[in-house]
Structure 1
């Protein structure tokens, strides 16, 4: 039996997930909570094998919570289930410790498919993302380059690649513009370029954007 914790600020979303997961008798929802800070108390008091969590949570961001959970509870598998753009956040959440990412626009059966995949020890991405990023690609240059980038750097890179300006990136990631400029400078250095056009070109060449 896999014990599952649901984390989302919307009760209707949690109820929908419960109904979908109840189709598999090997899954048991042991709790549903509405904020990131509640996760830690819950998993200290209860046996949890699997967490399905939104990124945008009150009090504590889902990715921040994810990193902290994986430091203390490496065996807990986590599926991020979010309305945030998949092409920006999917790989970032995997780098932060998630075992999969699923868009809230997905069909209900895909929730079961994603959960099944992760429970079996595999990584789950949508078919589109899996083909585009080829997460298990054996290309050494791409893999090494990707590992050199932090989660935040990847997020900034994705947003730059779709034409977002510094102030929009700052707003999207809830950081200040000076911090965005710092990340850009790091990206220029790591990808060995000196302007945004070349930065985006290098990112696309290495299949990072």
Structure 2
């Protein structure tokens, strides 16, 4: 039996997972939590095989939590399950140590396939995403732009695009403000912009898909 922890701050999502796997012969949801911080306490108390986590979480975002969990519990495989565009965030998630990325727009059988794939030690990506990565020579593609960015740079860009200030970003990512400024400078250079407004607009445009 594959033991799954679901991390999402929307009750309809966590309840949906519990109902979906209530009588499944291979997969069991052994718990749900609503914040990134709550994951750590749960995995210390319970034997978890797979974590399915949203990226947008209170207190600690999913990718930051992913990195920390993999350091402490490398045997746990983590699937990011989010509404964010997969051509942008799938790459960042896999770089951070995820075993897969599933869009919330996918049908139920996809998440089941992803869980089994991750449990077998492989990485799950949609067929579309796999093909997208193979053809990364396409000029001006979003994936090509984002592949030039580190996982942390993507996180900083995302938080800047949501309107957060340097201090807020530093607190959320557990880094100092000077480091945030360094990442911003790198983003200016890599995205070829000269001011914060253009940087934020670039981030929002790239996220539209």
TM-score of the superposition, structure 2-length normalised?
Answer: 0.71
Change (3 A) 1:155 1:10: closer
The match for 1:170 is: 160
Equivalences for residues 96-115 of structure 1 within 5 A: 96-115=96-115
CA distance in 2, matches of 1:69, 1:169: 21
After the TM superposition, list the runs of 4 or more consecutive aligned residues in structure 1 that deviate by more than 6 angstroms: none
1:153 lines up with 2:157 in the alignment: no
Tell me the number of residue pairs that the alignment of Structure 1 and Structure 2 aligns. 170
1:25, distance to aligned residue in structure 2 (A):
1.1
CA distance in 1, matches of 2:164, 2:24: 38
CA distance in 2, matches of 1:20, 1:186: 46
Whether the aligned pair in 1 keeps the contact of 2:81 and 2:103 (CA below 8 Å) is yes
1:170, distance to aligned residue in structure 2 (A):
1.7
The match for 2:62 is: 62
TM-score of the superposition, structure 1-length normalised?
Answer: 0.71
1:16 lines up with 2:6 in the alignment: no
1:60, distance to aligned residue in structure 2 (A):
0.9
Whether the aligned pair in 1 keeps the contact of 2:7 and 2:51 (CA below 8 Å) is yes
CA distance in 2, matches of 1:118, 1:186: 36
Whether the aligned pair in 1 keeps the contact of 2:148 and 2:190 (CA below 8 Å) is no
CA distance in 1, matches of 2:35, 2:82: 14
CA distance in 2, matches of 1:132, 1:86: 10
The match for 2:142 is: none
RMSD: 2.8
Deviation digits for residues 44-78 of structure 1 (CA, Å, limit 9, x no counterpart): 11111110000011111111110000000000000
CA distance in 1, matches of 2:55, 2:125: 16
Deviation digits for residues 26-54 of structure 1 (CA, Å, limit 9, x no counterpart): 21211111111110001111111110000
CA distance in 2, matches of 1:173, 1:94: 26
Deviation digits for residues 77-104 of structure 1 (CA, Å, limit 9, x no counterpart): 0000001121211110111110000000
3-state SS of paired residue (2:128): helix
CA distance in 2, matches of 1:169, 1:53: 18
Whether the aligned pair in 2 keeps the contact of 1:169 and 1:180 (CA below 8 Å) is no
